[in-house]
Structure 1
Amino acid sequence: MLFTGQSEHSIDQKLRLAIPAKYRNQWDSTRDGAAWFSLPWPTGHVRLFTEGEFHRLAEQRKPTLTPSKVRAEVDSLIFGYAERLEMDSNGRITLPRKHIDLTRLGTDVMVVGVSNRLEVHDREKWETEQDQNFPKLLGLIEQLEKLEER
C-alpha cells in the first residue's frame, strides 16, 4: 500500500488514534493483514506499518545464529519495541503508553503517509520542522542521488 499526504488527528485519553479514512479505505486484509505494527522512532515519532508490510520487511532480514554485536542490538531494539495493534470497529488503534512517552507525542498529532508506512508526529513539532525543512528539500535530493551513485 502506498501512503501519501498528511492528516491532523488527536490521541484521546485512552491513547486511541483513528487511522485516517483515506488510508483505511485502501486497506485489503488479504494483503495488509489484520493489524498495524507500531514502532517508536528515535527522531520523535511513531512509525506504523501494516501487518503485511512489517512481516515482509522482517523477512528480508537475513536471520543468523551469530549476528554481529550491532545487528543483535538493533534487532533487539527494533523487535523489542515493536507492538502489534488491532484496529477497533471505528478504525482506531491504541498506541502503547511507552511509545508515546519515548517519542514525546502530545494529544494533537499529524499522521503522515511515508511510502510504505504512516508516521505519527507531534503536530506542533511537525509544523515547525516542516517550515524549516522544506527549503532543504532540493539539497537533500542531491545528497541522496550522490549516495545512490556509489
Structure 2
Amino acid sequence: MFRGVQHINMDTKGRLAVPARQRESLLDQCAGKVVITIDTQSHCLTLYPLPEWERIEAEIQSLPALNPAVKRFQRLMLGYAADIELDGNGRALLPQSLRDYAHLEKKIVLVGQGNKLELWSEDRWLAERDAALSVEAVEELPAELLSLKL
C-alpha cells in the first residue's frame, strides 16, 4: 500500500529519486519494475508496480474497442504507458512526453494512492489539494463517500 504525500525534486535529466519508503515497497513487489502513464482525469502521472499494471492493462484491453470513448481512453492509458526500472540508486527516468503532459519541472509531489502512486507538479498538486478542501467540494460529495464510517 502506498500512502502519504512527499515533496521531492527531479533533476534536469528528468530523473527522480523514489523515497526510501516507496522504493522498498517497489523493490519487494516488482524488483523495481514499474509502469508510468498519464491520468486521464487530471494532469498528473500514475506509477504502478508492474504486476498491478499488468492486471489493469488486461482489464483495459478487454473493454469493447469499437466504443469510441473506450478507444480514446485506451489510446491514452496504453499509448502513454512507459516501462521504467528503478536504477541502483532508486531513481526513475521519466520520458519527456510524460513530463510534458503533467507539466513536471524541478519540484514534484509523490502522492500515495493505495495500489499506485501519483506524480504531480508541485503547483498543480497544491491547487488540486486546495480545491478538494474547499467548501464547495465538501458539499458535493457523492452518496458513496457520505456512507463511509471513518
**TM-score category, normalised to shorter length:** 0.7 to 0.9
Q: CA deviation at 1:64?
A: 6.8
Alpha-carbon spacing, 1:144–1:16, altered in 2? closer, same or farther (3 Å): farther
Q: Tell me the residue number matched to 2:69.
A: 70
Please report the TM-score for the alignment, with normalisation by the length of structure 2.
0.82
Q: Tell me the residue number matched to 2:56.
A: 57
Whether 1:14 aligns to 2:13 is yes
Q: Tell me the residue number matched to 1:40.
A: 38
Alpha-carbon spacing, 1:15–1:103, altered in 2? closer, same or farther (3 Å): same
Alpha-carbon spacing, 1:35–1:115, altered in 2? closer, same or farther (3 Å): same
Amino acid at match of 2:36: S
Please report the TM-score for the alignment, with normalisation by the length of structure 1.
0.82
Q: Tell me the residue number matched to 2:133.
A: 134
Alpha-carbon spacing, 1:61–1:80, altered in 2? closer, same or farther (3 Å): closer
Counting aligned pairs with the same residue, the percent is: 25
Q: CA deviation at 1:4?
A: 0.8
Alpha-carbon spacing, 1:88–1:62, altered in 2? closer, same or farther (3 Å): closer
Alpha-carbon spacing, 1:117–1:64, altered in 2? closer, same or farther (3 Å): closer
Amino acid at match of 2:78: F
Higher mean alpha-carbon deviation, 35-44 vs 60-69, is at: 60-69
CA distance in 2, matches of 1:25, 1:7: 15
Q: Tell me the residue number matched to 2:124.
A: 125
Alpha-carbon spacing, 1:68–1:33, altered in 2? closer, same or farther (3 Å): farther
CA distance in 1, matches of 2:34, 2:63: 26
Query: Over aligned residue pairs, what C-alpha RMSD do you find?
Result: 2.5
Is the 8 Å Cα contact of residues 4 and 115 (structure 1) preserved in structure 2?
Answer: yes
How many positions carry a matched residue from both structures?
Answer: 145
Gaps of 5+ in 1: none
Is the 8 Å Cα contact of residues 33 and 52 (structure 1) preserved in structure 2?
Answer: no
CA distance in 1, matches of 2:16, 2:117: 12
Is the 8 Å Cα contact of residues 44 and 105 (structure 1) preserved in structure 2?
Answer: no
Higher mean alpha-carbon deviation, 60-69 vs 19-28, is at: 60-69
Q: CA deviation at 1:60?
A: 2.7
